[in-house]
Amino acid sequence: MPLCDYSCGSADHRLSRRAFLGAAGASAVLGRDVFAGPATGELSRAQKRVLVIFLAGGVSQLETWDPKPGTETGGPFAAIPTSVPGTHICELLPLTAKRMHRLALVRSLNSTSDDHGIGEKIMLTGRKPEAGIEYPHIGAVAAKLLGTADQVMPGHIAIFPRGSGSGKQDATFLGAKYASVPVADGRPPADLLRPAGLSEETDRQREELRRKLTDKFAKSRRSAATEAYAESFTQAERVFRRADVFDIAKESLKTAERYGRHDFGRHLLLARRLLESGVSYVKVSHSNYDTHHENFDFHIEQLGEFDRPFAALLDDLSDRGMLDSTLVVVMSEMGRTPKINDRYGRDHWSKAWSVALGGCGIHGGAVVGKTNATGTAVVDREVSAGHLFHTYLQAVGLNSTKNFYPNDRPVPIADPKAEPIAEILV
């Protein structure tokens, strides 16, 4: 089941029950990792978290963070003032504009790939694909380095629309413990719940027997695959124990209305509940922004869904004292072409586009980088996904220059050829 039927024919995301149980852990490596493990001391006490809102398909920077009204590439929408004097964004984001003082913009991103799958990998790992190694996604890195030994919930959860999927190998050498737990349509899979005819005691005994058999098997045939298999049950059990967190009906009607009754609103409200429950990293996907035709109509619809719940989320995080400890990132796998095609659409464009960040460690109101008058090229402070990856980690207080050590091989946590975007860090 594809995540969304991209106009260009790409369908990169798939999910099955096996994918959930595998939770991307089959590539776990059992080698030594001498990195300091979960963050401790002040960092743990502050409960640093990361929320990535992924606008799947490639959102248009010109209809969001870097409008060019009145130009040949600008399209029909106006640029509106925001709560930051001198900073304007597209009129399709009126509520976000009023909260721009909580966000920073990077308007000079060159992510180098116009392919959906490769672009997503670059944005989530901070690196171009390399032969011989798969790098972990930011969610797995955050789950490992921000997690605590006593946290009840899994550290890495991915929420996506119904009829779509995750289940990718996103933890790689960090192991199955840090792989994403996929949550389709904002709900854990129904088959995780104990059948009505099975008593709690019988279920406990069954689980105890499974663990004994797994441990016995692992003593003689331990491998990355067996570790991943065992960890998938542990992750599922942790989700089951906190099934109440997934029940957004516990929220007030007023709160539900503020976020909206559509899927994305529900998913963003769930993300807030998960972050409150101690989950280190949550990714929420919203699709479909692959607007090769009727770009403007599609963005009216999609950003109409995005704007209100995103504003509500920023308000809630601030009101609950969580914004200072939660890094919020709005990204995509690419932007859209400045040139408007003959179908009133915009095609794939990675050479000059924008990302928004806010919350923990971020200087709200900052704007970094600049594109030319028509948005066809970066003319100031070009950055890569590697720069962003360093920035994410340092924003939540982590040293992005250290290494992981899978199989005793040093692997830099972030691209050593890049560095943080200092202008937006507090």
pLDDT given at position 40: 37
Distance CA 27, CA 106 (A): 33
Distance CA 377, CA 218 (A): 54
pLDDT given at position 291: 98
Question: Is residue 138 a part of any domain in this protein?
Answer: yes
Residue 368: strand, helix, or coil: strand
Residue 354: strand, helix, or coil: strand
Question: Is residue 4 a part of any domain in this protein?
Answer: no
- Strand 88-90 relative to strand 79-81: parallel, antiparallel, unpaired? antiparallel
* Strand ranges inside 172-226, DSSP E: 181-184
Q: How many CB atoms lie within 10 A of CB 211?
A: 13
Question: Is residue 3 a part of any domain in this protein?
Answer: no
Distant-in-sequence, close-in-space partners of 412: CB < 8 Å, separation ≥ 6: 401, 402, 403, 404
Length of the chain: 426
pLDDT band for position 153 (cuts 50, 70, 90): confident
Cis amide prior to 288 (ω within 30 degrees): yes
Phi, psi of 89, deg, nearest 5 = -130, 180
| Statement: residue 273 has pLDDT above 90 | yes
CATH code assigned at 282: 3.40.720
Average pLDDT over residues 78-83: 98
Question: Is residue 11 a part of any domain in this protein?
Answer: no
Question: Is residue 181 a part of any domain in this protein?
Answer: yes
Supply 216's token pair.
Answer: 């016995």
How open is the CA angle 353-358-359, to the nearest 5 degrees?
Answer: 165
Q: pLDDT per residue over 185-230, tens digit each?
A: 887 656 656 677 888 888 778 778 877 776 776 676 655 555 655 5
- Strand 326-331 relative to strand 49-55: parallel, antiparallel, unpaired? parallel
Question: Is residue 8 a part of any domain in this protein?
Answer: no
Among the listed residues 422, 426, 310, the one whose alpha carbon sits nearest the alpha carbon of residue 368: 422
For residues 199 and 324, which has the higher predicted lDDT (pLDDT)?
A: 324
Average pLDDT over residues 104-117: 98
Residue 241's domain comprises 17-424
Q: pLDDT per residue over 290-306, tens digit each?
A: 999 999 999 999 999 99
| Amino acid type, 254 | K
Q: How many domains does the chain have?
A: 1
Q: pLDDT per residue over 2-18, tens digit each?
A: 456 677 877 554 444 44
Mean predicted lDDT score pLDDT of the chain: 87
Average pLDDT over residues 78-107: 98
Average pLDDT over residues 255-279: 96
Question: Is residue 6 a part of any domain in this protein?
Answer: no
User: Which burial class, exposed, middle or buried, applies to 256 when counting CB atoms under 10 A from its CB (0-12, 13-18, 19+)?
Assistant: middle
Phi, psi of 216, deg, nearest 5 = -65, -45
